[in-house]
Amino acid sequence: MIDDEAVDALGEEILDWRFKSVPASAHGSTVREHARARRPLDEYGTPLMTLDAGALEHNLRVMAGWTEAAGVRLAPHGKTTMAPQLWRRQLEAGCWAITLANLPQLRVARAFGVRRVLLANALLDPAGLAWLSTELEEHPEFEFISWVDSVRSAELMDEALRAARAQRQVDVCVELGGPHGRTGARDKSEAVAVAEAVRKAPTLRLVGSGGYEGALAHDSSKEGLAAVDTYLRRLADLHGRLPYETDEPIVTAGGSAFFDQVVEILGDFGGQVVLRSGAYIAHDDGFYRQISPFVRGAAPSGDDDARLRSAMHGWARVVSRPEPKLALLDAGKRDLPFDEGMPEPQLVRGAGPSPVASARVTALNDQHAFLRDADVEVGDIVRLGLSHPCTAFDKWTLIPVVDDADAECPVVVDLIRTWF
């Protein structure tokens, strides 16, 4: 499902100034050599983001077990991490495919030999479609599924693929959207017309339907969950009406917030359900911690081992105490996610959680965080819980993996390369 040699070759990359997470003492070593040395995190500077090895493994196991028990496939959204090393672990854990969002991400996946890709978007770029047609022709094992949400998009794809003299049909799903959502046909009649346009296009093949429920709700309120249910029932109804050109059509939905509802509603209809949850591998200490289905009842009651764990943490140093209740940390918007909530102070390295028990980050500048009500001194290093992995990984080209982020002195056991 992925080119092991290409992924393994990442271990031979030379560490140097290109990677802001790497200490100068490691420059000249390979990634593999440095990981094997198991250096203490104390040797790394700040700002820093790390992943927790135990939490990553736990989350992979939990999600694989849950999807298997639910009888659905998982094609995790690779845009969350853009890390082929993590994609490989997800595929090895049983994932059916990797989902991506645009052409540059697709090219990364193909550079690492990902064999089955679901593009949760429309691909209309003529140059990109010409490249795709060549890729499909030269690699018969490569399986690709894209989305269309209008008659015009189907026509444009067909025109570009004809111009490229495409030899293989491109598999597509009709995308259904919702009111005030993102892309997707807004009603059933429009979606059926899109399906008919696909069937008329000799370069395209209709293999499923899909959409994204997460754009229609941003919390687990009664109203939010009801909006998701309503949309999913519309998708289920559409899925049962389209004239597919395969014996095993798929219906795909499911981000990382409402995948339990996707299984409950779509699982009762014909076709293979494909979830696209991507944030689960890292989880977080913010948005997904609050809204995850495993918090809302999808996990067995009281079984903490069946819940996801946050695998990502920020580390920042106190560089100023200009006021009695204000400290400035050396990590900001360029280092940490902030679009779904501010970083959460968790502990001071070597001192435990008490110094920041009532502290909060109130603002981020480009390179600074405003930490208030913390009992810290200049030079202290604060561990931060982070929210929203989709805007965390893109800030780091190389991310250290520690053995245990809760340890008094974590040890670096791996390094994860990202490609954004």
pLDDT of amino acid 301: 60
pLDDT of amino acid 298: 75
Does position 335 have pLDDT exceeding 70, yes or no? yes
Record the pTM: 0.96
Query: Residue 270: pLDDT band by 50, 70, 90 thresholds?
Result: low
Containing 54, the helix (H) or strand (E) segment is: helix 53-70
pLDDT of amino acid 277: 96
Token digits of residue 182? 């993102």
- CATH, domain 4-53+308-417, list 2.40.30.10, 3.40.50.150, 2.40.37.20, 3.40.250.10: 2.40.37.20
| Average pLDDT of span 56-85 | 97
Does position 25 have pLDDT exceeding 70, yes or no? yes
Does position 46 have pLDDT exceeding 90, yes or no? yes
CB atoms near residue 179 (< 10 Å) = 10
Query: Residue 50: pLDDT band by 50, 70, 90 thresholds?
Result: very high
| Digit-coded pLDDT (tens) for 275-311 | 999 999 999 999 999 999 999 887 766 677 889 999 9
Total length of the chain: 420
pLDDT of amino acid 305: 84
pLDDT of amino acid 35: 97
Does position 404 have pLDDT exceeding 90, yes or no? yes
Does position 106 have pLDDT exceeding 90, yes or no? yes
Percent of the chain with pLDDT over 70: 99
At residue 134, the 3 state secondary structure works out as helix
Query: Residue 63: pLDDT band by 50, 70, 90 thresholds?
Result: very high
| Average pLDDT of span 34-52 | 97
**Is there a common fold for 4-53+308-417 and 55-281?**
no
Q: Which residue has the higher pLDDT, 305 or 56?
A: 56
Measured CA to CA, the distance from residue 229 to residue 406 in angstroms comes to: 38
- The strand ranges marked E within 196-335 are 204-210, 250-253, 272-275, 312-323, 326-329
The closest alpha carbon to 67, from 217, 289, 280, belongs to 280
Q: Into which CATH architecture does domain 55-281 fall? A: Alpha-Beta Barrel (3.20)
Report yes or no: 80 and 390 within 8 Å, Cβ to Cβ.
yes
Query: Residue 122: pLDDT band by 50, 70, 90 thresholds?
Result: very high
Angle at 130 between CA 124 and CA 134, to 5 degrees: 135
In the chain, what are the domain boundaries? 4-53+308-417, 55-281
pLDDT of amino acid 87: 98
Does position 180 have pLDDT exceeding 90, yes or no? no
Measured CA to CA, the distance from residue 244 to residue 21 in angstroms comes to: 48
DSSP 137: H
pLDDT of amino acid 43: 95
Cβ-based burial of 140 (10 A; exposed 0-12, middle 13-18, buried ≥19): exposed
